[in-house]
Structure 1
Amino acid sequence: MFVGFWTWAIWSCAEHWRGNPNYSYGWAVPCLALAFGLRRAWMNEERGEVRATWGRTPFVLSLALAAVVSALIFGLEFARQQMWHPQIVLELICLLAVGFSFYAFWRGSGWTSARAQIFPVVFFFTAVPWPARFEQPVTSSLMSWVATATAELLHWIGVEAQTSGGAIALRSGLVGITEACSGIRSLQAGIMFGLALGEWFLLRPGRRFALLVIAVALALLTNLGRTLGLALQAEWHGVHAVEKVHDMIGNVAISTLIGGVWLAGKLMSEPKPPRPVVPVRHFLARASAFLRGMLVVGEPALAAALIASFIAFISARGLYAAIEAQDHAQTSAFFGLRADASRSPQILPVPKEIWNELRPTSGDYIRFESLKLPRGGADLYHFFWKPSPWNRFALVHRPDICMPGVGWQSTAPPEPVEVEFDGGKVRCYLFRFRQGNHHAVQVWGVWRNGIPLSLDYQVAQVLGDAEPPPELELGGKRRSATEIVACSLISVETAPSAETAVAVLRSVFEYNPQ
């Protein structure tokens, strides 16, 4: 059951680690936690503090334990699949793994062993995603702070810069401070590194706290240095040159963070007296005896709970699959590039920062060039996400939400517009923005499982902090396929024509609902 609970917890968190770059460091956390746990067990063995205490639990109590655990597993796994309050469910799954771990250590080796394993077990929570209602305000504050601080530093070194929302306006163009550049990723990774290296060097509690503070400060400073470097690259070589050094500067920043935290931990560490070495064979024999006692002989309650838990887990997934099988699900994109389109459209790579932010299943960036268009062309995007419980986060990247963050001001409320494709009409929305003497118009539409969405929803509803409207289909994943198309025109002095943007969108894309 120990392995089963932790496999379940890691599997549940892995969806975030894989889909959200902010938590990509999470893959290392289980390995570090295991290493720290083994080292602490080894240290207890050296002190002769490990003892087996498994005893038999009464039959009635065994049945009660199996019933409670299986009910919890069934409810949590079904709720996890249905995406009911996903953050709470994820935290409860991890708490269940942590709670059982302490129970196993206590029953198997006594209170001393259980106390020794507190840090390795709780350390796993550094990889558990933060609640959206907490993470989003922190991210927004960091974006604003990074933009302001970077602009001030640029002033000190003689570079003209102004903040515009979550962006920095330079003479060469606009450098946007996206969520990826806000520092939230560095902050979360810095907290993990600070705690991990405090354990690595076996620091005292006060010094561990000091190292954690240093790690947080270094995370913020290295991210600020990264943003400053990118801004200088844009100032000296143009905004388009930022992409060339983006990854390199990011790697330097994270390497500096890790090296700085390690050096601080090393300086804080104290010389440790040599300890007697326990033979590996003896340690493995003790561990094997512990597992045999826990899983086979000493604790029949765990055997009953293990069987009941397995049945509950399979039942929850089977029930969910049966319910979802009754729904019609979109599995491929309905929009595509017209086969008869002229040679004007150019299919270009999606900018890396956009791809990393959205994480679609597939995506296209199309540059449509024509002398009849403002500034000689239009930019079009098409993104598709296959059914997944995490597609909901694509819905927060609306023009009226994202454009103000990079310095554009809305000049009119969004307007619904019917766009005709091959005899059929689809609903999109028209957005208008202004930045200085530049005007932008964008035709944008979003669909969930092939059904167009209105703009009545709010970010809090998508993130799970408020009750969402039923049309968002946020429960479950089979009806969660998401598709977005957009066409943007930018002109100087006068606003582009909305009719022109619609015409370009129609000429580039075809719509083929299946």
Structure 2
Amino acid sequence: MNGGTMAGQIAGAGKRPSATETLGALVPLVPSLLAMAWLVSQAKWFWSSRPDLNFGWVVLILCCYLLWDACERGVTLEWRARWWALAAGVAGAGLLFVVQVYQAAFGTNAASTQGLALGVLLICAANVGFAYGWRGVRLFAMPFAFILVSLPLPSIVQGFVVNGLQHRVAAIDTELLNLMGIPAQQVGSLIQLPNGTVGIDEACSGIRSLQSTVMASLFIGYLSLQRASLRVLLLVAGVLLAITGNVIRSLYLCLSAYHRGIESISKVHDAAGWSILAFTAVGVILISWWFSRMEAAANRLAMSARREENHREEAGADQAEQTKV
């Protein structure tokens, strides 16, 4: 009996496999692990050099946890040549070759890193497909694909998102300030106050907290919720919390600048950022807890309904048997 089959049988019996059995389930995935290690070596420069991607090291740790958790759920080793796995491997190798040629000519950038990630994930899908089949691909999809949230977005996408957030946050803050009786005028991503101008820069736009919130929402939702619909709702709620939090943060900075002078912003800027990050994190945790309770209640109702239906079917069968007698 191989390690993958044993882990699957133990998980099916309701027992957690041992560490040795879990490691045994990882052995067939060595090609995928090597490919991911190479991707990390390409991405680590962004994680170390860009403040908005510093959380990439945290994502790497979470990926390792998700991978271990997937192995503990039990997988059955089924070495078999599958055409779709072969196609994924060929496509992944071809994409990696093209991206490497591009990087040799033009250097590494966000778009080429995304291309490398896609190629690596196709290689991983091929490896998992050959070893564990389609069920294995579904099981290991999240552990391998989760690293995408830590990679830089292509500049055209990054610029569109950041500029959109900057202008919308500035517009909302301007309206709120006017409602409070404070004269304010929006000029692009700037807010003109009577005593100075407050700029909604990239940090204040909320892109960093938005990226962190997406990471947290995906991770918490995957572990605590079973229904895909609730996971999507948690992600949407997390994004809305992040945007709301950054509107509050930038509004507070504008109020501080209006009442205590523009120079006061530097004194409260970082504290306001950490406060909003805590607000968003707590909000995501509370919403996921609420969703998990809703899901558990729905599951209990469904089980109760099935038991009642089975009871009625058994009673009907007994009555039919008695009628025949």
TM superposition shift of 1:94: 0.9
1:235 maps onto 2:258 in alignment: yes
Distance 1:239 1:260 in 2: 31
User: Which one of 51, 55, 67 corresponds to residue 76 of structure 2?
Assistant: 51
More helix by share: 2
The share of aligned pairs that are identical, in percent, is 29
Of the two structures, which has the highest relative contact order with CA contacts closer than 8 Å and spacing of 6 or more?
Answer: 1
User: Which of 131, 134, 140 lines up with 1:108 in the alignment?
Assistant: 131
Contact 2:195 2:261 in 1 (8 A): yes
User: 1:22: which partner in 2?
Assistant: 52
Check 1:256–1:203 CA distance in 2 against 1; reply closer, same or farther (3 A cut).
farther
- The alpha-carbon distance between structure 1 residues 19 and 41, as it changes in their structure 2 partners (threshold 3 A), is same
| Cα distance in structure 1, aligned partners of 2:239 and 2:143 | 20
Measured in 2, the distance between the counterparts of 1:214 and 1:124 equals: 21
Is 1:39 aligned to 2:64, yes or no?
Answer: no
CA–CA distance in 1 between the matches of 2:110 and 2:257?
A: 38
| Contact 2:111–2:155 under 8 Å retained in 1 | no
Q: Distance in 1 between matches of 2:134 and 2:81?
A: 18
Q: Deviations over 1:454-512 (max 9, x none)?
A: xxxxxxxxxxxxxxxxxxxxxxxxxxxxxxxxxxxxxxxxxxxxxxxxxxxxxxxxxxx
Q: 1:206 aligns with which of 203, 218, 229?
A: 229
Q: Following the alignment from structure 1 to structure 2, what is the Cα–Cα distance between the partners of residues 180 and 80?
A: 29
Q: Which residue of 2 aligns with 1:430?
A: none
SS of the residue corresponding to residue 182 of structure 2 reads coil
Q: Which amino acid aligns with 1:256?
A: F
Task: Write the mapping of 1:173-322 to structure 2, written as runs, cut at 5 A.
Answer: 173-269=196-292, 270-271=295-296
Report the Cα distance in structure 2 between the residues aligned to 1:32 and 1:132, rounded to whole angstroms.
26
1:208 to partner: Cα distance: 0.7
Pick aligned residue for 2:170 from 131, 134, 147: 147
Instruction: Check whether the contact 1:151–1:161 (CA below 8 A) recurs between aligned residues.
Output: yes
- The 8 Å contact of residues 184 and 191 in structure 2, kept in 1 or not, is answered as yes
- Bigger radius of gyration, 1 or 2? 1
What's the secondary structure of 1:51's corresponding residue?
coil
Contact 1:17–1:24 under 8 Å retained in 2: yes
Cα shift readout 1:223-265 (whole Å, capped 9, x = no counterpart): 1111011111111211111111111100001111111111101
Contact kept, 8 Å, 1:5 with 1:96, in 2: the verdict is no
Q: CA deviation at 1:36?
A: 1.6
- 1:81-480 alignment runs, 5 A limit: 81-84=104-107, 86-269=109-292, 270-271=295-296
2:95, 2:115 within 8 Å by CA — same for their partners in 1?
Answer: no
Which residue of 54, 79, 82 maps to 2:102?
A: 79
**Structure 1 residue 75: Cα displacement:** 5.3
- Secondary structure of the corresponding residue to residue 55 of structure 2: helix
1:149-171 per-residue CA deviation (whole Å, 9 max, x = no partner) reads 11111222232222222111122
Three-state SS of the structure 2 residue aligned to 1:9 is: helix
Q: Kindly report the root-mean-square deviation, in angstroms, between the aligned alpha carbons of the 2 structures.
A: 2.7
Query: Structure 1 CA distance, aligned partners of 2:176 and 2:287?
Result: 26
1:4 CA drift (Å)? 2.4
Measure the CA separation in 2 of the matches of 1:72 and 1:203.
Answer: 33
Residues 91/108 of structure 1: CA separation in 2 closer, same or farther (3 Å cut): same
Q: Contact 2:165/2:206 (CA < 8 Å) preserved in 1?
A: yes
Report the CA distance between 1:78 and its aligned residue.
5.1
Asked if residue 5 in structure 1 is aligned to residue 28 in structure 2, the reply is no
- Quick one: which amino acid aligns to residue 53 of structure 1? E
Q: Does structure 1 conserve the Cα–Cα contact (< 8 Å) formed by 2:206 and 2:242?
A: yes
- Which amino acid in the other structure matches residue 218 of structure 1? L
| Count of matched residue pairs | 260
Equivalent residue of 2:197, what SS?
Answer: strand
Please tell me whether the aligned partners of residues 203 and 268 of structure 1 are also in contact (alpha carbons under 8 angstroms).
no
User: Is the 1:219–1:257 contact (alpha carbons within 8 Å) kept by the matching residues of 2?
Assistant: yes
C-alpha distance 137-212 of structure 1, shift in aligned 2 (>3 A): same
Q: Tell me, what secondary structure is at the counterpart of 2:54?
A: helix
CA distance in 1 between counterparts of 2:110 and 2:265 reads: 35
Name the CA shift for 1:271/1:133 in 2 (closer, same or farther; >3 Å): same
Is the contact between residue 170 and residue 186 of structure 2 (CA under 8 Å) also seen in structure 1?
yes
User: How far apart, in 2, do the equivalents of 1:73 and 1:214 lie?
Assistant: 36
Q: Runs of 5+ in structure 2 lacking a partner?
A: 1-30, 300-325
Give the letter for the 2:182 counterpart: V
